[in-house]
Structure 1
């Protein structure tokens, strides 16, 4: 696992690096820790350090704050995990804007870092889950986290991802056996990724990209319960 620390205080930077390595040792995972003394330095070297699994950012730094840095990073990478470490709690709600994994008050503690690393590892496992389909007469790899929904079209399936759609032969029932429990059947013709559901209405569901899909009467209650449980779980992590 590759972790980057951006902190303008040399002593805090070294202390946080030591804490991260101890937490990783406890979890029995190998880590490489990269350290940067400013947001500008990290942005300058960013093309050379991707992929990064976790960015640990100080909030108050020189001309460019940790929050400003996070926003610039999100312009390039929507998925990298971000954690803020600060003396102030003024920016906690701003963290939601950049989809931060956590906001930790200084000093960083080993038990807190262990929890954060555990979550990053769990996220990596989810992100690496994939399946292989036959598309345009060749094997195509699709990551489960990238799939918005799957639609049954007779003897074919339409798999819609964040970057495009794919068609392959198959049945929805058989295909669902390859998926994780993050997918829910909302209708006899649709399987949907809970991560992309924005709202459950009386007769349909709204996805985060604006797509509206039907929800069957006998599935609506189940879908709504799973949807609420999923987001309550995310909020409590």
Structure 2
């Protein structure tokens, strides 16, 4: 079994896993994108570069461990933002869609959510949707398909901001 096969198995079991390839085969780098690798280091490796990549991985894990608290019927809930696939706004209610398929509904506004989330990990793509870029399965035309299979349209108003945010997200994950 090669490293890409192992990475595919890891990705099937854990969408959040941080995968870093170390190899002497630069030509295989495109395959790393298929498994959403965090980084791809080419041998011989430089100790300083390895430290930078590992520090970025730690920063990424820290972003995923940020929490969000909300109240439903006088009970306070706490969730990790890294577990949120996307937020949906319906009138005065917010619906939190988790990667597990669980949903939480509470009274709140999109502005309150946007003020609490990390713009490095989340971006608004529609007046009713803020998505976690870790859970984008693919971009299709003017929409996204999330890991859950949910298709969400990117409206014209949010398209330029999404393009910038997603480019920065990818650069953050692959930057040396």
TM category, shorter: 0.7 to 0.9
Q: Does the alignment pair 1:81 with 2:18?
A: yes
Separation of aligned partners in 2, 1:188 and 1:73 = 34
Q: How many angstroms does 1:168 deviate by?
A: 0.9
Separation of aligned partners in 1, 2:174 and 2:99 = 23
Is the 8 Å Cα contact of residues 200 and 224 (structure 1) preserved in structure 2?
no
Is the 8 Å Cα contact of residues 127 and 144 (structure 1) preserved in structure 2?
yes
Q: Number of residues paired by the alignment? A: 172
Gapped regions of structure 1 (runs ≥ 5)? 1-63
CA RMSD for the aligned pairs? 3.0
In structure 2, do the counterparts of structure 1 residues 230 and 87 end up closer, same or farther at CA, with 3 Å as the change threshold? closer
Q: Map 1:143-158; keep pairs closer than 5 Å.
A: 143-158=80-95
Separation of aligned partners in 2, 1:221 and 1:151 = 20
In structure 2, do the counterparts of structure 1 residues 118 and 137 end up closer, same or farther at CA, with 3 Å as the change threshold? same
User: What's 1:180 paired with?
Assistant: 118
Separation of aligned partners in 2, 1:73 and 1:218 = 36
User: What's 1:199 paired with?
Assistant: 139
TM-score normalised per structure 2: 0.75
Is the 8 Å Cα contact of residues 200 and 206 (structure 1) preserved in structure 2?
yes
1:189 to 117, 120, 128: 128
2:61 to 89, 105, 124: 124
User: What's 1:10 paired with?
Assistant: none
In structure 2, do the counterparts of structure 1 residues 189 and 97 end up closer, same or farther at CA, with 3 Å as the change threshold? closer
Q: How many angstroms does 1:232 deviate by?
A: 4.8
Q: Computing the radius of gyration over CA atoms, which structure comes out larger, 1 or 2?
A: 1
Separation of aligned partners in 2, 1:86 and 1:184 = 33
User: What's 1:45 paired with?
Assistant: none
Deviations 1:47-103 (A, max 9, x none): xxxxxxxxxxxxxxxxx4444443443443333323333344454333333333333
